[in-house]
Structure 1
């Protein structure tokens, strides 16, 4: 691969063996140059400032507190370095971590479970997506969110067919229509039909590749906001969509 097309990546992981394993895996792909490896959040922020990488791959929990330093660092990086995407890795399937990461916007952010490290194609795909301002969320988390949001009869997600839910999951992974065709073995016209149906049922504008991922994520988060009287209500999902 041409050196200009290779991703320049910073890795943040406090476990040395895991950090080195990820570094070798990415570099062996021939698509990534790991420009720095760090062990904690302060080192990560300093490395991003010094190297201006295309993307960051960070653990969710790191020193000094082993809490959500990866999420806090991701927000700081996106605010100070908008051309650098961030993928947060977590061993926790609890969707609250993903919602915390995307609470202030989803552009240039990704959330993957550590199980995904073994799938090099998915990992590099996620890094490339966030580099260009896209968003990626682990399909396992999407499944959990979809099941939870579908439970209420008044929720528009309950109107989606099984195949439309399949397409929604692929959209949330950052796949284009062409990628969905290959993943689900569907024709281009069928994918287009399902995508249009999804946006119609969820009352979301069917325009833009990255904006549609942000819209899906915003919709999945929307009913976490308390409504009047302490109840929760579903939103339109339009809050994160930029014109």
Structure 2
């Protein structure tokens, strides 16, 4: 694992150095396809590396338990060499991911330059939504029949959601892409008016986390994704 991670990181670092010397004036639309393919490849590598982190962390936790059974600290247990090796692997994986993310950001910036949307791309990692030209803030009292332009979490939004047979958060259940039992439960609640089951503590925690971090997702979409992939679109 160690050598593969080092090779991946070195390859990514070399690509990053190469892209750093590319002159924006010579870029054209023919490169967009190559950039998209490269971003997809790097993203798949990042996903695989993050799965490796989970496995390495599980290994570390397992050996910590083994060490505790020896009634000593893990540093003094006979598993210390293995755990040290796993911790080194963890560090190298994180370094490879950091390099890959830098490379992805650089590619997205170059794509935005080609699209003439460099001003919409955030190179600092911070997006001021009040100044972002491809972001449109919906008004709370906006009167329209188009539900796409109704602000979320306002009374009319809740009213529309209550009348819908399927919403974005429940589309998989409504379409039967999950278990049949889940689709039946969704049908009973939406169509037959059956009371929905209580959400678990973990579900509520995840929902609250998602709500609190929505603004970061929006910033990522308008500050990196749209300028590179859909330069003519605006986020409402």
Q: TM-score when scaled to structure 1?
A: 0.22
More strand by share: 1
User: Does 1 or 2 have the higher relative contact order (CA < 8 Å, sep 6+)?
Assistant: 2
In terms of Rg, which structure is larger?
2
More helix by share: 2
Q: TM-score when scaled to structure 2?
A: 0.23
